[in-house]
Structure formats: C-alpha cells, structure tokens
Amino acid sequence: MKHLILALAIAASPLTAAAHEIAKGPNGGPVVDSAGHHVELVAKGSELILFLTESDDKPLASAGTTNARAIVQDGGKTATVQLQPAEPNKLVGALAQPLGSGARVVVSATMADGHAVQARFVNN
C-alpha cells in the first residue's frame, strides 16, 4: 500500500505542482519552487524540517497548514512522515532514522489559503 501511495504521489507531482529545484536555501538545504512558493528541505538527524517562503523569499506562514506529510523512500523502505506546522514558516516531522544518501522525499500540504504545495527532493 505504501508503495502505491508513493507511486501516486510521484506521478501526480509534476501534474499539480510543476515543482523544480532552484538552488541551496539559506538553511543549507535544496529549494524547490512549487505553485509560487519555495520549499527548502533540511534533515537534521531524525528531524525533517521544511522551510516555506514566498517567491520573493519572504517567510510564508505555516499556521493553518493541513494534510502535511512527507513520503520518504530510503534504503528500499517507504515511510509516511506527518508534518506539523511550527512558527513562523516551518513544517516539522520525525524520521525513524537519518536520511541516507539518495533518499527520495515527496512532500505535500495544503496551505491555510487553500494552495496545494507539493515538492520532490533527492537527498545528496
């Protein structure tokens, strides 16, 4: 079932978000543009942090974000990580173990204003 969810999320991402990697963000993680927002992925140990900003790099409030989750495929295992809003502009979740090199992370959330944000990352 988890593999089916991951496959659907990966297949749907390009259709709904047209996300693409921009560069490294101010927190050292890769940044993806998704529906006019920027999403930066930072993995610190077993913590997964997503920083949300507007296209002009101003913080995007995470309060009111719903259905936030990351599907993580790492070392042949797939897990769903629930993400919680953390002020001012973060989504935070707990990983079972630190991300390995080559791990794939698919993030989706619905912002308070109704915008759907989706992003795909590969941990390097």
| Fold that domain 2-122 belongs to in CATH | Immunoglobulin-like (2.60.40)
Model confidence at 36, pLDDT cuts 50, 70, 90, reads confident
Average pLDDT of the residues of the chain = 86
Q: Indicate the pTM of the whole model.
A: 0.81
The domain locations on the chain are 2-122
Quick: pLDDT tens for 50-85. Answer: 999 998 989 999 999 999 999 999 999 999 999 999
Alpha carbon separation from 73 to 5, 8, 76, 124 (Å, rounded): 11, 13, 7, 13
